[in-house]
Structure 1
Amino acid sequence: MAKFDLDTIRHSTAHLMAQAISRVFPDTHIQFGIGPVIEHGFYYDVDMDHRLVDEDLEKIEAEMQNLIKENLSIERKVMSRTEALDFFKDKNDELKQDLINSFEDDAEISCYQQGEFIDLCRGPHVESTGQLPKFFKLLNIAGAYWRGDENNKMLQRVYAACFNDKKQLKAHLNFLEEAKKRDHRKLGKDLELFHFNSVAPASPFFMPKGAFVYNRLIEFMREIYRKYDYQEVITPQILDSDLWHTSGHYEHYKENMYFSRIDEREYAVKPMNCPCHMLMFKHYKYSYRDLPMRYADFGRLHRYEKAGAVTGLTRVRTFCQDDAHIFIDMDGIQDEITKLMEMFFICYEHFGFTGIKVNLSTRPEKKSGDDATWDKAENALEEALKKSGHEYFIKEGDGAFYGPKIDVEIADALGRYYQLGTIQLDFQLPERFGLSYTNAQGNDERPVVIHRALLGSLERFFGVYLEHVAGVFPFWLAPEQAVIVPVNNEFHLDFANKLQSELFAMGLRVKVDDRNESMGYKTRQIQKSKAPFMIVIGDREMENNSVSLRKHGEKKTESLTIEELKKLFSELDAEFIPAKLRQS
């Protein structure tokens, strides 16, 4: 049997799936959109009246196996643009006609046919269906607008995994199962952290436990700010559109902004803090002795995201960033970025992220400013990265419209990478806002601005981190650190309540489970809540002024005196501040 690369196998298996769908629903008019290869498999967009469900996927898979057994020959057919349009017009296939109309007039158009099935495709494909390995799995169905345009009809997108061998497929399916368990949307609901409501699309409602974690993340950042000399500011939410014209956001970012008319003028809800910080710096006259000046802002931001793009906490329309802008002179850039990289690694390592990747993103095609200024900015960032000693990768054309940037990606417990931190060097906004400071010679000089975030969007970080720890927060971040369980409420409840009061006085978050339920039931519920510890109080514990302590995820218990428990909890809670900050 001829050997084919995995992309070719996946592409051909996508056509296999489309043919199987046609066979499973022979009396239904079906149009197929695009069916590209993606990481780990492929998808195909389908337009049909029947609404596909999970049970249908099993039938389609079975028919795919039958098609492999039939060993149908796969043939490439070339048509002119006119021939292709006529062919798909006869098949009443509007989607393919739309695609063909987007091609150049002299384009060579190819189709691939296997048995009764034929579809528009560039290829390549295997030579027959019998050459396809059987290691695929249809995963799920999602909605997708035709050609990604929300003004077009909604199609059904069928996702599938496909590999060269059974072992690879099994490993990927196990990964997906683990990812499903860790889905932050499910955990957010199960752990009573947050939820969503249609009255505010893509805008989370944080419940008390979720609000605690959210605010604790802000407190954590404030501890880092104290070490690295940041000053926190508060800025308005709604600002005159003239400001966004000055900053350039109106021209480059308008489609993602919310607008309103107030007193017959147009205003915008801020999608970012930077223009406000430019105004604050400009309001006073500063000298070189005041630099670097570091403004930090936890202001709420609003950005319009298309309905099809939003997902859980990782893509929302309202959020907060651990945002900061640093006003600095050219000579200070190297040292400042060295400090920033130090901050980043202290932060990410404290949250247990070990896979950390640094990228340098250069000028995009749609940019503000001249090439000479961009050359200066890119060289400054690259020199700073070289000086910091961290390995980095170049991402051509991925910079912001106003300047190049350093992006930091982290790998979670499942090895998935997420971009969190960013450092963006900006020569444009200081110029646009006419910013200046008095240099050592007494002359006005233009500062450089560094845009900087560590966690990025707190909402997104919350979602990523929740999946990273599978809902089991470290002790210092857990909204409920321990649950005290009296074995018998009649005899042990008073002792449990007294212990809870003592721990509460230490600033710890502990509750007593005094429900009239069995010990087994309470234990299972506490494990589901993912509280770091369960404390059991019975006769022996009362006699010895001790507790029986069980850590989440473990079956063994440990006997500790009350004083030992308090010492342990104090030490764990102190981990709120990273060791490197406590030592300095």
Structure 2
Amino acid sequence: MPVITFSNNFKKKYENIVSINKIVEDVKNINKVDYVAAFLNNNIVSLNTIVKKDSTLSFIKKDDKFFLKIIRNTCLHLLGYSLKVLWPKIKLCNFFIKNSQFYYDFYKKNPLTKIDLLSIDKKMHNLVNRKYNILKKKMLYTDFKNLLINLNEYYKIKILKSNFKKNNNVTFYIHENHIDFLTDLQVPNISFCKYFKLQKISGVHWNSNKNNKMIQRISGTAWSDKNQLIDYIDLLKKKKKFDHRKINVNLNLFHLQKDTPGMVFWHHNGWFIFKKLENFIRKKLIKYKYQEVKTPFLMNNYIWKKSGHLENYKNLMFSTYSENKKYCIKPMNCPGHIQIFNNKLRSYKDLPMRISEFGSCHRNEFSGSLHGLMRLRNFTQDDAHIFCKKSQLNFEIKNCIKMIYEIYHTFSFKKIIVKISTRPKKRIGDNFVWDYTESVLFDVLKKQKISFIHKKGDGAFYGPKIEFELLDCFNRKWQCGTIQLDFYLPNRLGSYYINKDNLKKSPVLIHRAILGSIERFIGILIEEYKGNLPIWLIPVQVKIINISEKNVEYCIDIFKILKKNNIRSELDLKNRSIGLKIRESILLKIPYILICGDKESINNTISVRYLNGSTINNIFLLDFIKKIKKECNFF
């Protein structure tokens, strides 16, 4: 990215004032590269921007990551323009960009369907072919509001009132005769927006409030060139192929019902995986000296009010009544663990006290946000809370990090992004406490030589946190593990211990999760392994099949030997072709298929077929058993 710094020669060369477009032409004469936007004194601006004084200017090319955002901003406006051309009475609503996609909400009396996406896509491409310039303008708030009133854009007026101050100007863009107040940068000419694809149309609530009117949302993606778009579409196809909900159809792990949204019905095989994963974590809890507990699903409304959760989570909490008293179904486990800590008088000698729970939590998520195992209303957290002294913080956080990495590496997650979220604008506590808690987190990560991203202002209102994001085989980010410091909740719920001087002292609380939601982590594993889960985790490790009826007794003998060796096996002795038996086992993702025919029976051996199609003939059963035990030994 070329950088130009203007100093005393600026006025000499450009006579006090010049557009960036003019400067770009000078640069293009040197390196002949197409630029689409620029950074002017570290602020991203369009090429139409005027440079009035000595400045630092750097240029953004088509293949730059910033350009993708600009392209998607422009496609948002293009989508809105197309909707208004096709259906002039449509009311445009919110818009946003997330990851590689753009989203635009709108209201139409007679809702659009999937078929209408084709018409919208065609209209967008027709508009791109016009190669019109995109203009950026400013207008007084009052004038722009009157313009929206004349256009009868009810939702846009609402957005204007909630996002702009009356004494400020409103920035907006013009696509031919269509205006929209998208404040983020757009490309100078619509011809840059050739490579996009509309993906989905769905129903949502206005402003994500379930009490509001249902509107619609169109999502799409946009890229800077054709190959990028093709690669992304191919990636989506792969994701769809290995979607955990699709793989589940063959594996028969769980099901979800429309009449019980966001709640999992675990079948036998799925529940086996769940319990196996839970027991794996439980062994780690024992190693790191946690006390495992169980707290109630329901607790009195008073506790949630006192903890502050009712104020911050009210819309996400389920509640019920009994004997004229209100109870809340827990959305998290923290207040319950504090009740256990507060149940008896604690000494400084009792600290650190590490309380863990596989806590079943309920949150009233919007139905439109629910997604298989990845987003539920009822889920199980591998949750823990550590009550400790300030002097113990470094050691405890270090151990939490060690535990997190041990578990992630077990599942071959090697790409782990670590982030520290620090004090937000709206927070409690004085700066001295925030300085101390943040310095503890920074210090631990630096001493562990763990690189991290600093997310300023993203901490909770009561404390900073470390977040651990897993990158899966599709380079998707899954935020699972968290370590969060809290000087607030123990005080609010009256937690204290007796220190060396026989005085009451509030403990520091560390909130810690590793998998996050066990249900979601299973969904992540299914997609990461494409259904071929690690052998120690799956319900059936071996399927034994016979070639003919003469081999039945030999198959039964093998089954008994495997059972004695704690190898999970099943027999398939049905009178059908060997090909059908193998195919069924492959669909069930059983890693080892033992084929037993006359040759194997005579030689007292087995033939093993693997999921990848390879086969090893006539090996001894004991050698096979040693191999599986070695794979499962650690677990």
2:443, 2:139 → 1: CA distance? 54
Aligned partner of 2:630: which letter? E
Q: Which of 253, 257, 279 is the matching residue for 2:313? A: 253
Paired position in structure 1 for 2:631 = 572
1:288, 1:2 → 2: CA distance? 64
Q: Which secondary structure state, in structure 2, belongs to the residue aligned with residue 196 of structure 1?
A: strand
Structure 1 residue 218, shift from structure 2 partner: 0.8
The one-character-per-residue Cα deviations of 1:140-177 (angstroms, maximum 9, x if unpaired) are 22223233333333233222221111221122112211
2:235, 2:468 → 1: CA distance? 24
The one-character-per-residue Cα deviations of 1:489-532 (angstroms, maximum 9, x if unpaired) are x2223322332232233322221233444333333332222222
Is the Cα contact below 8 Å between 2:77 and 2:182 reproduced in 1? no
TM-score between both structures, scaled by the size of structure 1? 0.89
Is the Cα contact below 8 Å between 2:74 and 2:193 reproduced in 1? no
- Please say if 1:347 is aligned against 2:407: yes
Unaligned runs of 5+ in 1: 577-584
Structure 1 residue 207, shift from structure 2 partner: 1.0
Is the Cα contact below 8 Å between 1:232 and 1:297 reproduced in 2? yes
Structure 1 residue 440, shift from structure 2 partner: 4.2
Structure 1 residue 296, shift from structure 2 partner: 1.4
Distance 1:555 1:117, change over 3 A: farther
2:354, 2:348 → 1: CA distance? 14
1:174-323 matches, within 5 Å, as: 174-323=234-383
Is the Cα contact below 8 Å between 1:337 and 1:385 reproduced in 2? no
The one-character-per-residue Cα deviations of 1:63-106 (angstroms, maximum 9, x if unpaired) are 43333333345445665555545554554443334334444334
2:200, 2:263 → 1: CA distance? 25
Aligned partner of 2:629: which letter? S
Is the Cα contact below 8 Å between 1:327 and 1:448 reproduced in 2? yes
1:540, 1:71 → 2: CA distance? 73
The one-character-per-residue Cα deviations of 1:262-294 (angstroms, maximum 9, x if unpaired) are 222222222222222222222233433332221
Paired position in structure 2 for 1:582 = none
1:123, 1:363 → 2: CA distance? 26
Paired position in structure 1 for 2:68 = 6
Structure 1 residue 473, shift from structure 2 partner: 0.6
Is the Cα contact below 8 Å between 2:76 and 2:102 reproduced in 1? yes
Q: Which secondary structure state, in structure 2, belongs to the residue aligned with residue 407 of structure 1?
A: strand
- Please say if 1:545 is aligned against 2:604: yes
- Please say if 1:508 is aligned against 2:567: yes
Paired position in structure 1 for 2:125 = 65
Q: Which secondary structure state, in structure 1, belongs to the residue aligned with residue 462 of structure 2?
A: coil
Q: Which secondary structure state, in structure 2, belongs to the residue aligned with residue 203 of structure 1?
A: strand
Paired position in structure 2 for 1:498 = 557
Identity across matched positions, percent: 36
Q: Which of 375, 383, 399 is the matching residue for 2:435? A: 375
Paired position in structure 2 for 1:579 = none
1:296, 1:65 → 2: CA distance? 55
- Please say if 1:469 is aligned against 2:529: yes
Is the Cα contact below 8 Å between 1:363 and 1:397 reproduced in 2? yes
Distance 1:431 1:92, change over 3 A: closer
Aligned partner of 2:619: which letter? L
The count of residues paired between Structure 1 and Structure 2 equals 572
1:148-163 matches, within 5 Å, as: 148-163=208-223
- Please say if 1:324 is aligned against 2:401: no
Paired position in structure 2 for 1:338 = 398
Q: Which has the higher contact order (CA 8 A, sep 6+)?
A: 1
Aligned partner of 1:336: which letter? E
Structure 1 residue 347, shift from structure 2 partner: 0.6
2:448, 2:236 → 1: CA distance? 37
Is the Cα contact below 8 Å between 1:72 and 1:115 reproduced in 2? yes
Aligned partner of 1:418: which letter? W
Distance 1:466 1:81, change over 3 A: same
TM-score between both structures, scaled by the size of structure 2? 0.83
Distance 1:295 1:119, change over 3 A: closer
Is the Cα contact below 8 Å between 2:94 and 2:104 reproduced in 1? yes
2:451, 2:421 → 1: CA distance? 14
The one-character-per-residue Cα deviations of 1:223-254 (angstroms, maximum 9, x if unpaired) are 11121111211222212222223323233333
Is the Cα contact below 8 Å between 1:338 and 1:387 reproduced in 2? no
2:492, 2:352 → 1: CA distance? 20
Is the Cα contact below 8 Å between 2:93 and 2:155 reproduced in 1? yes
Aligned partner of 1:518: which letter? S
Q: Which secondary structure state, in structure 2, belongs to the residue aligned with residue 6 of structure 1?
A: helix
1:47, 1:134 → 2: CA distance? 26
Bigger mean CA offset, 469-478 vs 558-567: 558-567
Paired position in structure 2 for 1:413 = 473
Bigger mean CA offset, 148-157 vs 100-109: 100-109
1:54-93 matches, within 5 Å, as: 54-75=114-135, 81=141, 84-85=144-145, 87-93=147-153
Structure 1 residue 442, shift from structure 2 partner: 4.9
- Please say if 1:105 is aligned against 2:166: yes
Is the Cα contact below 8 Å between 1:527 and 1:553 reproduced in 2? no
Unaligned runs of 5+ in 2: 1-33, 38-66
